[in-house]
Amino acid sequence: MKQRLRYYDSVGSRTFDVLNVLFLIGLAVVTVLPLLYVLAGSFATESEISSRPFFLWPHRFVTSTYHYIFSTDTFVRALLTTIGVTAVGTAIQLILTLTMAYPLAKRFLPGRALVLNLVIFTLVFSGGMIPTYLVVRNLGLLDSYWALILPLAINPFYLIVVKSFFQELPEALEEAARIDGCNELNVFLRIVLPLSKPIIATFSLFYAVGIWNDYMSPLLYIDDSKKWTLQMIVRQLTAANADSANVLQQLETVTFPEQGLKFAVVVVATLPILFFYPFLQKHFAKGVLIGSVKE
Amino acid sequence: MATDLVPEVVQPAAGSSRQASPPKRKRRTRNVPLWRDLLRYRWLYLLLLPGLAYFVIFKYLPMYGLTIAFKDYVPFLGYSGSEWVGLKHFQELFTGPDFGRLMFNTLLLAVLTIVFVFPAPIIVALLLNELRVNVLKRSVQSLIYIPHFLSWTIVASLTYLLFSVDFGVIANFIHGIVGGQQADYVAQAAWFRPLIVLQLLWKQTGWGTIIYLAALAGVDSQLYEAARVDGAGRWRQFWHITLPAIRPTIVVMAILTSGHLMDSGFEQIWLMTTSLNRDVADVFDTFVYYIGITQGSFSYATAVGLFKGVVGVVLIFGSNLLAKRLGQRGLF
């Protein structure tokens, strides 16, 4: 104990500690500052955004940008679309992942190794963008909301993690249920799923964030701007080379604080994620770590 | 349940220690016909079916679709009806004017990623590990993980808002210090790569620390105590205990990274591409989109994608082999 105190108290060691603390606090601040600035800017007037170099609290607090974006069809439709696709998509992803992971967790199941290898192979190699696009097109899913859900229905990484979780569940419980005459389906529904609540919570959040944030799928599969998701709107409004004129005519024709508008749209697209962040954080580290285990 | 999940699941990588199968469920022997297995495990196979269908339709059907890289695909004629042209599209790719530029841009971004982005989470994790105030450590972690959950469209939008001429806070700040003509960071080709690296650092550094912090948390504290008794200072403990402890993790992450050298992150690059920076921004991923989706040359675009995919497979197996040769545990 004495030795420990002495060595931590050396001048060099303490200097390092001070610098280290300062650096890491600085890093955390730099990470969140852009978000706070955009949040503050979304409540500021246009003149304040252009005149003040940087601020985290607007002089005049206005909500007119939010009133405006929520009064446009384009934005409200995109928001509702995104919420709907995220909800339905997450449910489908969860069902498919859980039902597939359970049989894969049964070591005695003939053919299990083959299927597992098929899954793992997709982590190393894939058909790529165009062949996948053609499959979606040939299925007649272009311009359908299903195109935003089905091609991403199972994340192979998540599947393997859930499978590992199922393998760790106590076999005795399942065995008892079998002896009582439960078939495998009922064992899965009545014994295994109730035990899996934490992992279901984790992956529903992971999946939901994935769909909410997805930009590539709508870009590839959705031409009809009436079916665009929030991420497409964000892109159209804020990108430097965005061809926003014809898409968001409605937004453009009204003379409106353009910067504030962008700020507000970014905030609305980000807020749900930040709202769920504390729940995510409770579980995600575990998800990442189990996912790193090799099979 | 959830709290004791990690230690249990992390270990059984070797995992065969459990006596999984109950006595009555013996492995299928040669004299049991297939239909019997199907009947016996019908519920399990039924559960497996939807997921398997997904993999067949959306993962393996596209792999079959890769054959159009060797054909002149006409949607009307279908995969098998289109004319076989052999390596025509690959010849076009390798001899065409774009190949050199695509390769250069893709590889340069990969090198920048390895040099600047790969070490960042290792350094931050090591610094976090030296923090002894737990509240502070957890607060910093909570904040630096956030950007990982934001979409690339949000990240690109933030970049535009912060770096654009006239309005951008950071652009104005730099202008205030440097003076002169204000640079248009988001449009100019020269600033494309620095911005990409900056975005990656902002978005992924915090998240990347998780895996290293887990490795660091697993170090036996007795090692440190023993070293201290032997008179090792803080630096020596770091050099001889901490660093060796996370070396396997670094190797695994390096293998994974090198497997993705050719994946430049389609969404990020696409969102940051402007008409002015196309020359430096075009990489294989975005090129496939331009050629395939925008111009409709499905076969050529598929050939480009296949080339990229094959190089990726070679890279991941190659680096795994290399890691094993160097005496490290590989991925597989």
Q: Which of B265, B266, B119, B129 is nearest to B205 (CA)?
A: B119
Residue B75 with chain A: CB contacts under 8 Å: 137
Q: What angle do CA A105, A110, A115 make, to 5 degrees?
A: 65
- Across A103-120, average pLDDT: 93
Instruction: Quickly state the pLDDT bin for A198 (edges 50, 70, 90).
Output: confident
Instruction: Quickly state the pLDDT bin for B15 (edges 50, 70, 90).
Output: very low
Do residue A129 and residue B266 have CB atoms under 8 angstroms apart? yes
Residue from A130, A196, A211 to probe the interface with B (highest B Cβ count within 10 Å)? A130
- Contacts of B263-266 with C-beta under 8 Å, sequence gap 24+, read B263/B308, B263/B312, B264/B105, B264/B106, B264/B109, B264/B110, B265/B152, B265/B200, B266/A129, B266/A216
| β partners of residue B84 | B71
Do residue B274 and residue A240 have CB atoms under 8 angstroms apart? yes
**Averaging pLDDT over each range in A67-81, A267-281, B25-39, which range is the top one?**
A67-81
Q: What percent of chain A has pLDDT over 70?
A: 85
3-state SS, residue B27? coil
CA dihedral defined by A223, A225, A230, A232, rounded to 10 degrees? 50
pLDDT, tens digit (0-9, with 9 covering 90-100), for A200-219: 888 898 899 999 999 999 99
Do residue B46 and residue A126 have CB atoms under 8 angstroms apart? no
C-alpha distance from A128 to closest chain B C-alpha (Å): 6
Residue A277 with chain B: CB contacts under 8 Å: 146, 149
What amino acid occupies position A209? Answer: V
Q: Is B281 on the interface with A (CB under 8 A)?
A: no
CB B168 within 8 A of CB B161: yes
Domains of chain B by residue range? 96-325
Distance of alpha carbon A222 from alpha carbon A236, whole angstroms:
14
DSSP state of B71: E
So what's the pLDDT on residue B112? 94
So what's the pLDDT on residue A241? 46
Q: Is B158 on the interface with A (CB under 8 A)?
A: yes
Cα separations (Å) of B3 from A97, A285, B6, B124, B322?
Answer: 22, 11, 7, 25, 36
Instruction: Quickly state the pLDDT bin for A239 (edges 50, 70, 90).
Output: low
- For residue B187, give the nearest of A238, A240, A259 by CB distance: A240
Instruction: Quickly state the pLDDT bin for B156 (edges 50, 70, 90).
Output: very high
* Residue labelled with tokens 């929030």: A230
pLDDT, tens digit (0-9, with 9 covering 90-100), for A52-61: 878 888 888 8
Residue B177 with chain A: CB contacts under 8 Å: none
So what's the pLDDT on residue A8? 59
Supply the mean pLDDT for chain B.
85
Do residue B202 and residue A175 have CB atoms under 8 angstroms apart? no
Q: Is B197 on the interface with A (CB under 8 A)?
A: no
- For residue A129, give the nearest of B22, B160, B288 by CB distance: B288
Q: What angle do CA A16, A19, A22 make, to 5 degrees?
A: 145
Do residue A99 and residue B50 have CB atoms under 8 angstroms apart? yes
pLDDT, tens digit (0-9, with 9 covering 90-100), for B89-134: 999 999 988 999 999 999 999 999 999 999 999 999 999 999 988 8
Residue B41 with chain A: CB contacts under 8 Å: 103, 109-110, 184
Nearest-CA residue of chain A relative to B24? A108
Do residue A198 and residue B154 have CB atoms under 8 angstroms apart? no
Distance of alpha carbon B42 from alpha carbon B35, whole angstroms:
10
Residue B301 with chain A: CB contacts under 8 Å: 129-130
Phi, psi (deg, nearest 5) at residue B71: -130, 170
Predicted ipTM of the assembly: 0.88
- For residue B54, give the nearest of A20, A96, A295 by CB distance: A96
- For residue B271, give the nearest of A31, A184, A235 by CB distance: A235
H or E element that contains B83: strand B83-84
Do residue B43 and residue A240 have CB atoms under 8 angstroms apart? no
DSSP state of B59: I
| β partners of residue B83 | B72
So what's the pLDDT on residue B264? 80
Residue B271 with chain A: CB contacts under 8 Å: 215, 235, 239
**CATH class held by domain B96-325:** mainly alpha
- For residue B292, give the nearest of A53, A129, A212 by CB distance: A129
Distance of alpha carbon B116 from alpha carbon B119, whole angstroms:
6
pLDDT at A291 over 70: no
Spacing of C-alpha B188 from chain mean position: 27
Q: How many CB atoms lie within 10 A of CB A201?
A: 15
DSSP string, A172-239: HHHHHHHHTT--HHHIIIIIIHHHTHHHHHHHHHHHHHHHHH--HHHHHH---GGG--HHHHHHHHH-
Domains present along chain A, CATH in parentheses: 2-62 (no CATH), 68-291 (1.10.3720.10)
DSSP string, B257-302: HHHTTT---HHHHHHH--TTTHHHH--HHHHHHIIIIIT--HHHHH
pTM for this prediction: 0.86
Spacing of C-alpha B324 from chain mean position: 21
Q: Is B120 on the interface with A (CB under 8 A)?
A: no
Size of interface A-B (CB pairs under 8 A): 319
So what's the pLDDT on residue B298? 94
Q: Is B332 on the interface with A (CB under 8 A)?
A: yes
DSSP string, A7-73: HHTSHHHHHHHHHHHHHHHHHHHHHHHHHHHHHHHHTS-HHHHHH-S--SS-SS---HHHHHHTT-H
Do residue A31 and residue B166 have CB atoms under 8 angstroms apart? no
SS3 letters across B197-215: HHHHHHHHHHHHHHHHHHH
